[in-house]
């Protein structure tokens, strides 16, 4: 068993691609081995900015010999058959083996040297490598067919044990030579085998193992902060990125001018992280952002890093100076004035500008508050105001520079410009929740705007038939729907989706369908000037009649289409809700049992029902009622008894029958009352009283009586049981 | 510094050119880069190019953002195998001590939507500051590069700030007789920022954009790709000014970029055709 080392050395590989590249290298290598019937004991991969490496442990020296047997004719077969078989296999009669009167051709395929397999695998892996972006370079790029790699590829180390696996691709021959750190050790190094690779490079200032580099960055950055009396704001993404940018990471702490702390801390943190890949620190006692940063150099500088820190401080100062320029400039313009510029930003070509969207959202937010869906009616003005300002920061300099600060900056500007605190908070948080795990707003004004914004997006795109399909969801409608569900559930909002979305849908449908009519009107107007005298009346009259006919048709279409779209939208929400509940671990059959009842999509109510049902079905009463229900439903199904016939009972009921009748007479109104009061526990309790009478009924009463009147009445009784149970949930959907 | 770079690249076979006498947003627009990058011929050149980026104006108040600054540009076709080492050699030649400074190649894929061009490469960081854009061009004017050219674009002011160890670009020493960068350019930055952002007459600019586009097309019809390309440069800069004036909406912006790209692409195509190069 022997170890194999492969190193592909190139110019700097983007940090964000290195993790995936390691996976791809392992996968492609394993696949090439598997094709030859080989597998390695263990595969380890490494990535630095300048190299991608793999070590495969315990490979055999050769693949195993394989013996292949092909069945031929019987020994007694006519000579033509034998001749044909010999021609096919290329063997002579003497080479065939006879067994039980049948001839076999047996060929021994010898094992292949693993070295040979590897020599072929290397170029195959390089050619097949799925870099997200790749390039051509150098003299060879005169042809567009030249080798592609993420950046120019310079060297291949391929060692099987201590032997070089000789191979070549695009004039790069494999060998045992690599290079160390670009500045600390620029000369060539000879690698002996997989066993000394990591240590030889370490001696040349290259830490091949990305996890080791990450650990150094994480540990040293935190320690530097502590030494400065601060606390590092941890950021795993930054750790990984800096590990991908360095072969010899050296974290260094620097300070920036405390005056810049007047810029919002999120802005400082963002510009430090995104533009410069720096960590920032907080004051351990107050939690406030401190005027310190930690950068990660790729070198042990001869002056201990003094010049590096100084240089990085200057760059950060310039960035912060720019941020402050944007911040101060933006602060001078009232948000309300900025909103005028939203008319110039297209939201969607069929849905108008962002200003149009803002207007819809403002009205919807007001409606949600006035209807009592969110908060109390006295908040309506604030909800509308917040909605009207919510998107204004999209045209500010700061959000232009850092789009991810949308909302947050608007919140800062609104507060600084003297807007009501609830309004500023709503501007800041109205995009929330952005994804699972994000904070769900609870302040009523914020909730109203957040809900209105998302509902408008969803309803608008449904209205122009751009709802998500399959895996395509370019406008993030599903995410918006999950946001709505989270807002509704966390705040216990009694929101009927159909009602809240209807006005948005109607307006859009009218606009869509009204376009031909308004174009007719325009044509009409334009053509009037083309005629003189009396003839103009006749022409105008004819065209007006045409237009009026089109409008009448339109009225029918608008209502029909709007209703269809709203049903479609409700179905979509129901589907999202089911998916979300299933992911949260709720039994899907219970969800189906509640959803099967139909009716309005009132998320809070539906979930309350599901919860009560889940509790009830776990009790003995619940389980028995379910069994009784199923028996009743089966009989009804078998007899084709779909609905109550209401046939009068013209005989004296048996005692068990009378008991069930009495129980139903008590349970039906009790369950109905409880459902109306949205007390599903009580409704379930009412139904539970049916359990014993149902059991008794099935024990002593024959449904299928020879007297058709009795039979009909008893089936009706079972149908009543089914209907009573259905006031809570369709038990037929419940499993077990 | 410029002389040191001229010496360094001249010794390595580059022709040393002078700046192009038109307003442009980057050295890449210089015909010695854009047009000469096309086609199979060897081409190695180095030159300084003043750049104008109206939206980067800060009225002289930012320590390193300017609406007018200088780039040093090197173009090498085909890209030599030791381009990174050559580049680091040039940094050493202008006095960057690589045992004390942290030089890094950080992913930055370059794309110029107005030139229909893109390439892969890095921004080169010196202690966290981007001092050079390092690109292997893959496409120019919509044409695949055959062969690929390497482009180095040095930010001269930023490098000078390093070498002279100053915090603010306006404090750079322009000579040894006490003249600073600010003495030469500060008032220019103030006035031009004000003109770019507040004063420039937008009707005149819109008109000038239209005229440049029309003139580009006339030149193309007359089979004069170099003249046509000059008009494309002019249209591009006029568009940048309109952007700074804030009179181009998001939707229109794409249309204007598309228009400039069409002009630049057509100029490149005409240049290819004139030289008898196949796409």
Residues A419 and A481 in one domain: yes
Q: A299 vs B102: CB contact, 8 Å cut-off?
A: yes
Residue B219 Cα, gap to closest chain A Cα (Å):
30
CB within 8 Å: A298 and B104: yes
Rounded Cα–Cα distance for residues A118 and A6 (Å):
10
Query: A327 lies in a domain?
Result: no
Taking only the tens place, the pLDDT of each residue in A351-370 is: 888 999 999 999 999 999 99
The percent helix, strand, coil of chain A (3-state, each to 5) is 60, 15, 30
DSSP 8-state symbol, A686: H
Question: Do A101 and A215 belong together in one domain?
Answer: no
For the record, the structure tokens of A255 come out as: 């300070």
Instruction: Say how far apart CA A272 and CA B194 lie, in whole Å.
Output: 29
Which residue on chain A is closest to B42 by alpha carbon?
Answer: A139
Can you tell me the distance from the alpha carbon of B220 to that of B213, in angstroms, rounded to the nearest whole number?
11
Distance from CA of B107 to the nearest CA of A (A): 5
Calpha distance A460→A477 (Å, rounded): 10
How far is B162 from B160, CA to CA, in rounded Å?
5
Cβ atoms of B219 and B227 closer than 8 Å: yes
* Residue of B84, B87, B148, B165 to mutate for A, most A C-beta atoms under 10 A: B148
The predicted-structure confidence for A197-243, as pLDDT tens digits, reads as follows 999 999 999 999 999 999 999 999 999 999 999 999 999 999 999 99
Give A120-149 pLDDT, tens digit per residue.
Answer: 999 999 999 999 999 999 999 999 889 999
Smallest Cβ–Cβ distance between A345 and the set B62, B99, B250 belongs to B250
Q: CB-CB: which of B61, B84, B138 is closest to A325?
A: B61
Question: What is residue A532's predicted lDDT score, i.e. its pLDDT?
Answer: 59
Give the sign of the dihedral formed by CA A444, CA A447, CA A452, CA A453.
Answer: positive
How far apart are the CA of B41 and the nearest CA of chain A, in angstroms? 10
Following DSSP, what letter does each residue of chain B receive, concatenated? Answer: -HHHHHHHHHHTTPEE-PPPSS--SSGGGSHHHHTTTSSSS-EEEEEEEEEE-GGG--TT-SSS--SEEEEEEEEEESPPTTHHHHHHHHHHHTT--TTTS-EEEEE--EEETTTTEEEEEEEEEETTEEEEEEEEEEEETTEEPSS--EEEEEEHHHHHHHHHT-SSGGG-BSSTTS-BHHHHHHHHHHHHHHIIIIIS-HHHHHHHHHHHHHHHHHHHHTT-HHHHHHHHHHHHHHHHHHHHTT-S-HHHHHHHHHHHHHHHHHHHHHHHHHTT---
Nearest alpha-carbon partner for B122 in B109, B112, B140:
B109
Chain B residues whose beta carbon lies within 8 Å of the beta carbon of residue A301: 99-102
Is the pLDDT reported for residue A402 higher than 80? yes
Whole-angstrom Cα distance, residue A714 to residue A658?
Answer: 11
Verify whether the Cβ–Cβ distance A152 to B109 is below 8 Å: no
Q: What is the DSSP string of A474-503?
A: TT-HHHHHHHHHHHHHHTT---BHHHHHHH
CATH number at residue A672: 1.10.730
Do residue A629 and residue A692 come from a single domain?
yes
- What percent of chain A shows pLDDT beyond 70? 96
Q: Do B101 and A301 touch (CB under 8 A)?
A: yes
Closest B-chain CA to A14: B107
| Contact status, residue A4 vs residue A33, Cβ threshold 8 Å | no
Confidence label for A533 from pLDDT (cuts 50, 70 and 90): low
Closest Cα of chain B to A312: distance in Å? 5
Quote the tokens at residue A249: 């990471």
Q: Is residue A524 part of a domain?
A: yes
Q: What is the pLDDT of residues A161-199, one digit of tens each?
A: 999 999 999 999 999 999 999 999 999 999 999 999 999
Indicate which of B110, B128, B131, B162 best probes the interface with A, i.e. most A CBs within 10 Å of its own CB: B128
As to burial, measured by CB atoms within 10 angstroms (0-12 exposed, 13-18 middle, 19+ buried), residue B228 is buried
Pairing of strands A289-297, A250-255: antiparallel
pLDDT tops 80 at residue A385: yes
Whether residue A675 is contained in a domain is answered as yes
Highest mean pLDDT among A66-80, A83-97, B209-223: B209-223
Q: How far is A185 from chain B (nearest CA, A)?
A: 11
Q: Which of A429, A462, A495 is the last residue of a domain?
A: A495
Give B-chain residues touching A317 at CB under 8 angstroms. Answer: 63, 167
Contact by Cβ (8 Å): B147, B40: yes
Q: A227: distance to nearest CA of chain B, Å?
A: 22
Chain B positions touching A135 (Cβ under 8 A) are 119-120, 136, 138, 148
B3 Cβ under 8 Å from any chain A Cβ: no
- Assign residue A133 a region: left if phi > 0, alpha if psi is -120 to 50, beta otherwise? beta
Instruction: Choose from B107, B172, B197 for mutation: most chain A CBs within 10 A.
Output: B107
Q: Which residues of A touch B56 (CB under 8 A)?
A: none
Specify whether the CB–CB gap between A406 and A393 falls below 8 A: yes
Asked if residue A395 is part of any domain, the answer here is yes
- Select the residue from B120, B122, B129 to test the A interface by mutation, using most A Cβ atoms within 10 A: B120
Q: Domain boundary at A203, A236, A251, which?
A: A203
A255 upstream amide cis, omega within 30 of 0: no
- The answer on A434 and A452 residing in a single domain is yes
ipTM of predicted complex: 0.92
**Number of cross-chain residue pairs from A and B with Cβ atoms under 8 Å apart:** 131
Residue A592 included in any domain: no
Q: What angle do CA B141, B142, B147 make, to 5 degrees?
A: 85
Residues 6+ apart with CB under 8 A from A725: A625, A629, A687, A690, A731
Q: Which residues in chain A are closer than 8 Å to B84, comparing Cβ atoms?
A: 11
Handedness of CA B85, B91, B93, B96 (dihedral sign): negative
Do A127 and A41 reside in the same domain of the chain? yes
Is pLDDT of A670 > 70? yes
Looking at A320, A354, A374, the residue that finishes a domain is: A320
Residues 44-83 of B with CB under 8 A from A: 58, 61-65, 78-81, 83
- What pLDDT score was predicted for residue A438? 87
Q: Rounded to the nearest 5 degrees, what angle is found at the Cα of A628, between the Cα atoms of A625 and A632?
A: 135
Task: Answer whether B101 touches A (CB < 8 Å).
Answer: yes
The minimal CB distance from B138 to the residues A15, A135, A307 is found for: A135
**In degrees, to the nearest 5, what angle opens at C-alpha A718 toward C-alphas A714 and A724?**
140
Residue A234 sits at the vertex; the CA angle it makes with A441 and A409, to the nearest 5 degrees, is 40
Task: State the pLDDT at residue A648.
Answer: 67
Gap from B218 CA to chain A (nearest CA, Å): 32
The residues of chain B scoring below 70 in pLDDT are 249-251
Find, among A21, A15, A12, the residue nearest to A125 by Cα: A21
Give the whole-angstrom CA distance, residue B97 versus residue A183: 11
> Which residues, numbered 201 to 230 in chain B, qualify as contacts with chain A under a Cβ-Cβ cut-off of 8 Å?
none
Residue A517 scores a pLDDT above 70:
no
Instruction: At A88, give phi and psi (nearest 5°).
Output: -65, -40
Question: Which of A15, A51, A152, A302 to substitute to test the interface with B, most B CBs within 10 Å?
Answer: A152
Model pLDDT, residue A343: 86
Cβ separation of A135 and B84 shorter than 8 Å?
no
**A449 is written with which tokens?**
């705007």
Chain B closest CA to A303's CA: distance in Å? 6
* pLDDT at residue B64, rounded to an integer: 82
State residue A164's pLDDT score.
96
> Nearest-CA distance from A187 to chain B in Å?
12
What is the average pLDDT value for chain A, to the nearest integer? 89
Q: Is residue A279 in some structural domain?
A: yes
pLDDT, position A85: 86
Give residue A638's pLDDT.
85
HSE at residue A90, side-chain half, CA atoms within 13 A, is 1
Q: Are residues A405 and A515 in the same domain?
A: no
Instruction: Report residue B59 as tokens.
Output: 């009225």
Examine the domain organization and report whether A709 and A665 are in the same domain.
Answer: yes
Among the partner residues A12, A15, A135, nearest to B136 by beta-carbon distance: A135
Q: Report the residue from A135, A245, A316 with minimal CB separation from B104.
A: A245
**A590 is a domain residue:** no
> Residue A102 sits in which domain range?
74-107
pLDDT at A524: 65
Counting residues of chain A whose pLDDT is more than 90, the rounded percentage is 53
- Nearest residue, CB atoms, A14 vs list B107, B136, B250: B107
A483 and A529 belong to one structural domain = no
In a domain, A330, yes or no: no
* Whether residue A410 sits in one domain with residue A490: yes
Please say whether the beta carbons of A158 and A5 come within 8 A.
yes
User: For residue A175, what is the domain's CATH number?
Assistant: 3.30.70
Summarize the confidence of residues A441-453 as an average pLDDT: 96
Query: What DSSP state is assigned to residue A438?
Result: S
Give contacts of A346 with chain B, Cβ < 8 Å. 249-251
Domain count for chain A: 6
Which residues from A are below 8 Å from B60, CB to CB? none
Instruction: Write out chain A residues lying below 8 Å of B99, CB-based.
Output: 183, 299, 301-302
Instruction: List the single residue in A141, A322, A344 with the smallest CB-CB distance to B146.
Output: A141
Distance CA A484, CA A572 (A): 12
Do A58 and A134 lie in one domain? The reply is yes
Say which residue, B212 or A558, is predicted with more confidence.
B212
Query: Cβ contacts (< 8 Å) between A138 and chain B: which residues?
Result: 78-81, 147-148
Average pLDDT over residues A473-481: 88
CA atoms within 13 A on the CB side of A620: 1
Of A136-140, A689-693, A705-709, the range with the lowest mean pLDDT is A705-709
C-alpha A454/C-alpha A357 separation (Å) is 11
Q: Are residues A31 and A144 in the same domain?
A: yes
pLDDT bracket for residue A72 (50, 70, 90): confident
- Within 8 A of A344 by CB-CB distance, chain B residues are 249-251
Task: Please check whether residue A461 is in contact with residue A473, taking contact to mean a CB–CB distance below 8 angstroms.
Answer: no
Inter-chain contact A138–B99, Cβ cutoff 8 Å?
no
Q: Are residues A649 and A679 in the same domain?
A: yes
d(CA A388, CA A336): 8
């Amino acid at each position: 068993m022997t170890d194999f080392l492969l190193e592909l050395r190139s110019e700097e590989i983007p940090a964000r691609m290195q993790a995936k590249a390691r996976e791809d290298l392992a996968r492609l290598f394993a696949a090439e081995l598997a094709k030859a019937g080989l597998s390695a004991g263990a595969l380890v991969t490494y990535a630095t900015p300048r190299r991608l490496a793999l070590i495969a442990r315990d490979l055999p020296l050769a693949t195993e010999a394989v013996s292949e047997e092909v069945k031929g004719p019987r020994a007694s077969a006519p000579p033509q058959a034998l001749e044909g078989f010999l021609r096919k296999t290329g063997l002579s009669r003497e080479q065939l083996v006879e067994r039980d009167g049948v001839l076999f051709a047996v060929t021994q395929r010898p094992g292949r040297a693993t070295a040979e397999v590897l020599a072929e695998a290397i170029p195959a892996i390089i050619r097949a490598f799925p870099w997200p972006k790749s390039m051509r370079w150098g003299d060879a790029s005169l042809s567009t067919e030249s080798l592609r790699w993420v950046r120019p590829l310079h060297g291949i180390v391929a060692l099987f044990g201590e032997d070089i696996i000789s191979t070549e691709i695009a004039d790069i021959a494999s060998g045992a030579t690599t290079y160390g750190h670009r500045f600390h050790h620029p000369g060539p190094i000879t690698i002996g085998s997989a066993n000394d690779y990591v240590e030889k490079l370490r001696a040349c200032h290259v830490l091949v193992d990305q996890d080791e580099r990450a650990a150094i960055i994480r540990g040293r950055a935190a320690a530097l902060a502590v030494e400065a009396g601060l606390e590092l704001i941890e950021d795993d993404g930054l750790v990984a990125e800096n590990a991908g940018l360095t072969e010899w990471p050296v974290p260094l702490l620097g300070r920036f001018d405390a005056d810049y702390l007047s810029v919002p801390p999120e802005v400082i943190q963002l510009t430090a992280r995104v533009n410069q890949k720096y960590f920032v620190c907080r004051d351990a006692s107050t939690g406030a952002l401190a005027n310190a940063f930690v950068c990660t150099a790729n070198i042990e500088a001869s002056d201990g890093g003094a010049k590096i820190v100084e240089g990085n401080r200057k760059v950060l100062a310039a960035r912060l100076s720019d941020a402050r320029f944007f911040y101060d400039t933006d602060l001078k313009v009232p948000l309300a004035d900025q909103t005028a510029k939203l008319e110039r930003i297209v939201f969607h070509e069929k849905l108008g500008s962002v200003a149009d969207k803002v207007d819809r959202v403002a009205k919807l937010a007001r409606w949600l508050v006035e209807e009592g869906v969110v908060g109390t009616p006295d908040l309506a003005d604030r909800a509308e105001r917040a909605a009207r300002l919510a998107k204004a920061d999209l045209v500010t300099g700061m959000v232009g520079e850092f789009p991810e600060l949308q909302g947050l900056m608007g919140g800062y500007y609104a507060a600084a410009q003297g807007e009501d605190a609830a309004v500023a908070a709503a501007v800041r948080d109205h995009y929330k929740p952005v994804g699972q795990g994000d904070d769900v707003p609870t302040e009523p004004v914020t909730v109203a705007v957040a809900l209105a914004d998302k509902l408008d997006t969803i309803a608008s795109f449904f209205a122009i038939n751009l709802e998500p399909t399959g895996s395509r969801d370019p406008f993030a409608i599903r995410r918006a729907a999950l946001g709505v569900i989270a807002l509704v559930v966390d705040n216990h909002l009694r929101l009927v989706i159909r009602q809240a979305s209807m006005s948005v849908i109607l307006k859009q449908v009218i606009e869509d369908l009204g376009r031909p009519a308004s174009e007719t009107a325009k044509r009409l107007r334009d053509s009037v000037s083309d005629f003189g005298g009396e003839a103009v009346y006749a022409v105008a009259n004819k065209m007006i009649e045409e237009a009026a006919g089109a409008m009448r048709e339109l009225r029918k279409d608008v209502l029909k289409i709007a209703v269809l779209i709203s049903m479609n939208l409700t179905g979509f929400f129901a589907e999202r809700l089911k998916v979300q509940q299933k992911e949260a671990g709720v039994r899907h059959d219970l969800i189906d049992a509640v959803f099967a009842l139909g009716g309005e999509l009132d998320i809070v109510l539906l979930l309350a029902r599901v919860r009560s049902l889940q509790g009830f079905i776990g009790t003995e009463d619940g389980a028995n009622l379910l069994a009784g229900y199923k028996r009743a439903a089966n009989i009804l199904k078998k007899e084709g008894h779909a609905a109550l016939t209401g046939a009068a009972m013209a005989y004296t009921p048996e005692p068990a029958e009378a008991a069930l009748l009495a129980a139903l007479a008590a349970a039906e109104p009790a369950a109905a009352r409880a459902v109306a009061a949205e007390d599903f526990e009580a409704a379930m309790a009412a139904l539970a009283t049916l359990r014993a009478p149902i059991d008794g009924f099935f024990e002593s009463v024959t449904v299928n009586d020879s007297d058709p009147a009795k039979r009909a009445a008893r089936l009706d009784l079972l149908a009543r049981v089914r209907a009573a149970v259905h006031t809570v949930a369709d038990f037929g959907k419940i499993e077990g | 510094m410029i002389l040191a770079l001229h010496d360094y690249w001249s010794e390595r076979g580059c022709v040393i050119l002078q700046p192009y006498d038109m307003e442009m947003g980057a050295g890449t627009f210089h015909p010695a880069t854009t047009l000469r990058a096309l086609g199979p011929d060897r081409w190695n050149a180095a030159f300084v190019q003043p750049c104008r980026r109206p939206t980067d104006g800060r009225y002289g108040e930012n320590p390193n953002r300017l609406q007018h600054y200088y780039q040093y540009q090197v173009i090498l076709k085909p890209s030599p195998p030791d381009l990174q080492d050559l580049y680091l050699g040039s940094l050493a030649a202008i006095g960057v001590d690589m045992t004390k400074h942290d030089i890094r190649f950080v992913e930055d894929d370059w794309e110029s939507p107005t030139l229909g061009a893109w390439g892969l490469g890095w921004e080169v960081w010196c202690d966290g500051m981007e001092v050079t854009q390092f690109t292997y061009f893959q496409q120019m004017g919509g044409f695949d590069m055959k062969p690929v050219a390497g482009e180095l674009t040095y930010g001269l002011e930023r490098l000078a700030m390093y070498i002279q160890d100053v915090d603010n670009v306006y404090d750079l020493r322009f000579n040894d007789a006490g003249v600073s960068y600010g003495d030469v350019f500060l008032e220019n930055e103030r006035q031009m920022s004000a003109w770019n952002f507040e004063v420039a007459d937008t009707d005149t600019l819109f008109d000038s954009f239209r005229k440049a586009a029309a003139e580009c097309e006339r030149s193309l019809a007359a089979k004069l790709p170099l003249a046509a390309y000059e008009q494309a440069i002019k249209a591009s800069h006029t568009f940048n000014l309109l952007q700074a004036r804030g009179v181009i909406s998001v939707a229109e912006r794409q249309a204007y970029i598309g228009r400039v790209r069409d002009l630049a692409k057509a100029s490149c195509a005409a240049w290819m055709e004139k030289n008898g190069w196949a796409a």
